[in-house]
């Protein structure tokens, strides 16, 4: 597996509009991309920071992953995303090592990317996402 870069930090927020206003007030930044990912029950907004991005995530369903995260932990950093060159090979390699994965196969994410999550029990408590661009 080849990690290309830290693609983004995912930040759970109870209100995407509030998070976007905060970024504008603090850093004079506007989101360069926003979308709803219905499959993940989330709305997202992305703010470029150098070669990486901050992704703010608002749940569209309290039973979705971000809704459950917010109910349990409140707003804050949700995950770290690593860009990989071949997500299918990366997931297969991790599974072959016996790594506990949330996703046994890549699924659709924002920006048309394919993503897979490594269970936080494997990473010292940090949810890690692997992503391959469209």
Tens-level pLDDT at each residue, the chain (134 residues): 889 999 999 999 999 999 999 999 999 999 999 999 998 899 999 999 999 999 999 999 999 999 999 999 999 999 999 999 999 999 999 999 999 999 999 999 888 899 999 999 999 999 999 999 86
* CA dist 47 → 78, 89, 102, 116 (Å): 16, 29, 26, 21
**CA proximity to 116, closest of 130, 126, 100:** 130
Please report the domains of the chain, with CATH numbers, ordered by start residue: 3-132 (3.10.180.10)
């Amino acid at each position: 597996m080849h990690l290309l870069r830290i693609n983004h930090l995912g930040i759970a927020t109870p209100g995407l509009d509030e998070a976007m206003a905060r970024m504008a007030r603090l850093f004079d930044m506007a989101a360069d991309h926003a979308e709803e990912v219905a499959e993940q029950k989330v709305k997202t907004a992305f703010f470029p920071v150098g070669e990486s991005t901050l992704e703010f995530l608002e749940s569209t369903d309290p039973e979705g992953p971000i809704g459950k995260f917010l109910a349990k932990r409140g707003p804050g950093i949700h995950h770290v995303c690593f860009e990989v060159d071949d997500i299918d090979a990366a997931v297969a390699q991790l599974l072959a090592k016996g790594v506990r994965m949330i996703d046994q196969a890549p699924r659709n994410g924002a920006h048309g990317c394919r993503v897979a999550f490594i269970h936080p029990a494997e990473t010292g408590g940090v949810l890690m996402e692997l992503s391959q661009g469209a």
